[in-house]
Amino acid sequence: MANICRLYFLKTMKKIQLLVATMIAATCVACGPKVTLNVTNTLPTDRSGEMVEFPASEIAQLGDEFVICNEKGEEIPYQVTYDNKVIFNADVQANATSTYTVKKGKHADWKKVACGRQYPERDDDMAWENDRVAFRTYGPALQARGEKGFGFDIFLKYASEEPVLEELYGTALNPETHKKMKELREAGNKAAADSISRAISYHIDHGKGMDCFAVGPTLGCCTPALLDSMNNIVYTWCYNSYEILDNGPLRFTVKLVYGPISIDGNENVTETRLISLDKGSQLNKTVVTFDNLQKETKLAVGISLREADPEEYVMDGQKRFISYEDLTQNPVGNDGKVYPGALTLPAFEETNVVMFAEKLGTAMGHVMGVQNYKPGTAFTYYWGYGWTKSDFANQQAWTDYLTAYHTALQSPLQVSVVAEQ
């Protein structure tokens, strides 16, 4: 009996010691250095899940391991970006300030929401996504085959924090499945092979999303391109090299280099696109620069217009954005409608529609926003899409989003950093 009592006493003491140690650790965190972040919204509308950022150097005193908590004391995800910024999604009511606290500690394991990679198994596609949208652009292996892939492409995606690209590519490109289809065709069973092909195709919606947006030799979804002195598009075709700079959990950033091209007597002109996509956003931010360009040249951002509805474009009256209603590659099917759109600050210098002399596949022309690009400068714009199957019932809902996004860019959430002891 005495031994049993002694064992019970020892176990009880260990529990008490563990509890005391936990309380001491918590007290040390609470009493240690911390930083308050005041995030202010000057607009008369609530801002929900909007990405904010501040220099990581402003909380250097906390070291490399820290946590960020909201006003309820709940830890929230953040990311330190390649350019040494701390970013996180903030919620701030209209004309108000929300307070966040930063303190030393080990953060939780967060789900990677904004992410991407190169897919050498699919001719070097560069593809990326967040919880709202997904995209791809074409790479050097496709270029080597002689295909004229240029514009940004769209993977439609249902709103979800779960990444879908790995599954879509993996299913569609599975070598064992393709081996099986080949065997069936060689055996004369084409119907069975076609059935499998439809089941694995990412051009068909199987509940996760799909690629049903046509690009071809056009600007596709909001791709930038220089215009020569005759206002002809000078295509740089597929990217030549890439560098992934950020890969989640909240922001994906990739640097793509295109060219060289020749334009109006300028030789060896190369283009660099710095593309970033944040959690919660329908739009990529893209910074475009050109090297070896000697004179001011027109730069267009364009969306391809399709024969199914070539006139369903929108050019904002203040030239803030362009948009289009695309009926997808299956206009009579159940793919919904897609709304590609692009905007810039303060506005495009021109917005116009240019139709092709002859149809290119199903493409009839482009709706374009145009700027005069000066050598040595950078052009920044924002582009992406809405989908009727994921929160955008019609084109008006999409253009309302673009208008609100433009307004938010003009009045970004302000972050002030206050160090405390």
CA 19 to chain centre: 44
* Mean pLDDT across 291-298: 96
User: Is residue 319 over pLDDT 90?
Assistant: yes
User: Is residue 17 over pLDDT 80?
Assistant: no
User: Is residue 25 over pLDDT 80?
Assistant: no
User: Is residue 90 over pLDDT 90?
Assistant: yes
Q: What's the token pair of residue 418?
A: 């206050």
Amino acid 334: pLDDT: 86
* pLDDT, tens only, 165-221: 999 999 999 999 999 999 999 999 999 999 999 999 999 999 999 999 999 889 999
**Rounded to an integer, what distance in angstroms lies between the CA atom of residue 415 and that of residue 39?**
5
Sign of CA dihedral 210, 213, 215, 220: negative
Q: What's the token pair of residue 370?
A: 């145009």
**What would the DSSP string read from start to end of 35-73?**
EEEEEEE-SSS-EEEEEEEEEGGGGGGG-S-EEEE-TTS
pTM over 0.85: yes
* pLDDT, tens only, 335-372: 999 999 999 999 999 999 999 999 999 999 999 999 99
Domains of the chain: 34-110+411-420 (2.60.40.1180), 117-155+213-390 (2.70.98), 165-207 (no CATH)
* pLDDT, tens only, 253-289: 999 999 999 999 999 999 999 999 999 999 999 999 9
Question: For the chain, what is the mean pLDDT?
Answer: 92
Give Cβ neighbours of residue 402 (< 8 Å, ≥ 6 apart): 316, 320, 321, 323, 341, 343
- Among 245, 238, 246, CA closest to 220: 238
**Rounded to an integer, what distance in angstroms lies between the CA atom of residue 378 and that of residue 376?**
7
